[in-house]
Chain A
Amino acid sequence: MTNQLTPETPDAELVRLAKAGELDAFEALTNRYEHRVYGLAMRMLRQEQDAEDVTQQTFLSVLENLEGFRGEASFSTWVLRIASHAALKIIRKRKGLNTVSLEEATEPSDDLNSIPHPEFIADWRQSPEHLVERNEVRRFLDEALTRLDEKHRLVFLLRDVEGLSVRETAEALELSEGNVKVRLLRARLQLREELTRVLGDPARQLVRSHHHHE
């Protein structure tokens, strides 16, 4: 039995065919998401071998668990969830911990009232369009990412790089939407701070007055 698979064939249809044993459909799904999974893993782990392990484990897990996938979440969210957990597992292992839990991260610091204030405030010297082409900028962006706590980094990558919605990010990480929002805000603010310290124009630095105006 052959099916006409095209780049337009929806994920849900490919999933249905793969569940029925169509290898082509499974390969089409793999082709569609492997680069995103690899990219996410590289940005989380910054190590090729580990990123490859995460990618392969993710698709082996997709293969093993496809029958159980009921489509409550979209396929892409499901795949990114598997990849996220695989990446976290490696991070925990590096730290000598054996547990993989995202929930343990619900600390008092995840409270909106303790969001750190922006400190270095200045316009950037160049537009993102110019910056994005420079190799040293990419390295610096990745370094800034690794300085984020992994629970903030993962939320930022899923939401802002992979383009998941807040709800999908919450589903992928099994977190509440509120928790995702707070983590995302922390991640964005920390990255803004680090990037602005390097890319900001010191001559145009603004100092915020200590009384807050209405």
Chain B
Amino acid sequence: MKCEELLAMLNEYVDGTVDPAVCVEFEKHLAGCNPCQVVVDNIRQTITLYKDGQPYAMPVQFREKMHDTLRKKWKEKFPAK
């Protein structure tokens, strides 16, 4: 496997969906290629950083206003309830 081929399979490898036979090839390449190892590490860290990042808090006032609007619309849609 060449570096370019590894790059093309990067998603599947990182997501753990790579075909087992390809995975063996992938890891064989990684074992002998330090730059590719670091790229794979960097990609994993990048994903972790975004996934575990601080969430955005929805402003409380906005939330209340939105729920009021939705309730009003709901009552127009289901007047009987």
Measured CB to CB, the residues of A under 8 A from B are 21-23, 26-27, 30, 34-35, 38-39, 42-43, 48, 51-52, 55-56, 59-60, 63, 112, 115, 117-118, 121-124, 127-129, 131-132, 137-138, 141, 145, 156, 160-161, 163, 181, 184-185, 188-189, 191-192, 195-196, 200, 206-208, 212-214
Partner of B53, one of A124, A141, A192: A141
Which chain A residues border B35 with CB–CB below 8 Å?
118, 121, 206-208
Chain A residues with CB under 8 A of B22: none
Q: A122-B38, A184-B11 are in contact. Are A212 and B53 (CB under 8 A)?
A: no
A207 nearest in chain B by CB position: B35
Query: Which 3 pairs between the two chains have the least Cβ-Cβ distance?
Result: A21-B78, A42-B56, A128-B48
A60 to B55: give the CA distance in the assembly, Å. 23
Number of interface residues of B (CB under 8 A): 45
Within 8 A of A (CB), among B23-68: 32-35, 38-39, 41-43, 45-56, 58-59, 62-63, 66-67
Supply 10 A–B pairs (Cβ within 8 Å), ascending by A.
A23-B74, A30-B67, A117-B7, A124-B45, A138-B54, A156-B50, A161-B53, A188-B14, A189-B43, A213-B32
Interface of B is mostly: helix
**Shortest distance between the CB of A201 and any CB in chain B (Å):** 10
Interface residues of B (CB under 8 A from A): 1-4, 7-8, 10-11, 14, 32-35, 38-39, 41-43, 45-56, 58-59, 62-63, 66-67, 69-71, 73-74, 77-78, 80-81
B36 nearest CB across to chain A (Å): 8
Query: In the bound complex, do residue B74 and residue A213 qualify as a contact, i.e. CB atoms below 8 Å apart?
Result: no
A88 to chain B minimum Cβ distance, whole angstroms, is 18
B10 adjacent to A185 (CB under 8 Å): yes
